[in-house]
Amino acid sequence: MLKDIPQEKQRQRAPSKRALETRARIMDAAERVFARSGFDAASIRDIAAEAEVQGALVNHHGGSKEELFWRVVARRADVLGDARVAALETRKAHGPLTVPAILECFFGPFFEHVDVGGPQWVAYARIVAFVSADDRWKDLAAICFDPTANRFVEELAALYAPQARSSVASGFVYAVASMLALITSQWRMEALGDAPINAADHLDKLVAFCAAGIDAAAQREGSQTT
């Protein structure tokens, strides 16, 4: 995926071990700072301070601020996209797919990474929410997210008549928006619901919400075939 970053310079030699550690520390720091401040409010200085390195090193390892942002997003999008497609393949090998099953393959790897990877993956999720809400990152989203998204829309669309395809695509975008809302707006759900939230229930409820929604939207245009 990194090869898709415009003007990505090809490195001539393998970086040293120390350089790799420094680089990883800078990427992680950038991820956290971008997550809490957004792209514009984040400064290279903040990132350098968070990584406990000098400012010039951030430019050295990450390139310009914008290149750094692309790298931060692409790094995890790669891993996550592969995990999602793998989950889909595995599920498919065990029997016919359903809408909830497909959504579980999309949401599941994400929440598993959040569970085991902790704050870094939550930070990534917040960044994805920023990227999705802002036209300015259209190209980034297209390169990093579209291949996986297209695959999932195709699997979903296969469950309905051809004329329902655009409804299914809309439903999938709503589902992604809902998933991101669960990450960024959990406090809001708790405030409106007058109760703290059981984390374990959340994924199930999200799947139930989106599966029913996609089915209802698709049924308006064509009948389910499986």
List residues binding a copy of itself (CB under 8 A): 36-41, 129-130, 132-135, 138, 141-142, 146, 149-150, 153, 165-174, 176-178, 180-182, 184-185, 187-195, 197, 202, 204-206, 208-217, 220
Q: What is the smallest separation between the CB atom of 117 and DNA, expressed in angstroms? A: 24
Q: For residue 223, what is the DSSP state? A: -
- List binders of DNA among 149-188 (CB under 7 A): none
Going by C-alpha positions, the residue among 31, 22, 59 that lies closest to residue 44 is 59
* Separation of alpha carbons 121 and 32, rounded Å: 9
- Among DNA, a copy of itself, none, partner that 15 touches (CB below 5 to 8 angstroms by kind): DNA
Binding mask 9-28 for DNA (x = CB under 7 A): ----x-xx-xx--xx-----
Q: What is the smallest separation between the CB atom of 70 and DNA, expressed in angstroms? A: 12
Piece of 52-60, 160-168, 181-189, 196-204 that binds DNA (CB under 7 A)? 52-60
Q: Which amino acid is at 89?
A: E
Q: Per rule CB under 7 A, is residue 138 in the interface with DNA?
A: no
The C-alpha R_g of the chain, in whole angstroms, comes to: 19
Q: What is the smallest separation between the CB atom of 77 and DNA, expressed in angstroms? A: 22
* Separation of alpha carbons 110 and 124, rounded Å: 10
Please state whether 3 falls in left (phi above 0), alpha (psi between -120 and 50) or beta: alpha
* Separation of alpha carbons 35 and 160, rounded Å: 37
Nearest to a copy of itself of 57, 123 (CB atom): 123
Q: What is the smallest separation between the CB atom of 145 and a copy of itself, expressed in angstroms? A: 9
Please check whether residue 148 is in contact with residue 84, taking contact to mean a CB–CB distance below 8 angstroms.
yes
Going by C-alpha positions, the residue among 126, 217, 131 that lies closest to residue 174 is 217
Q: Cβ neighbours of residue 197 under 8 Å, at least 6 residues apart? A: 186, 189, 190
Q: Per rule CB under 7 A, is residue 54 in the interface with DNA?
A: yes
Nearest to a copy of itself of 16, 223 (CB atom): 223
Using CB under 7 A as the criterion, which residues of the chain lie in contact with DNA when the complex forms? 13, 15-16, 18-19, 22-23, 42-46, 53-57, 59-61, 64-66
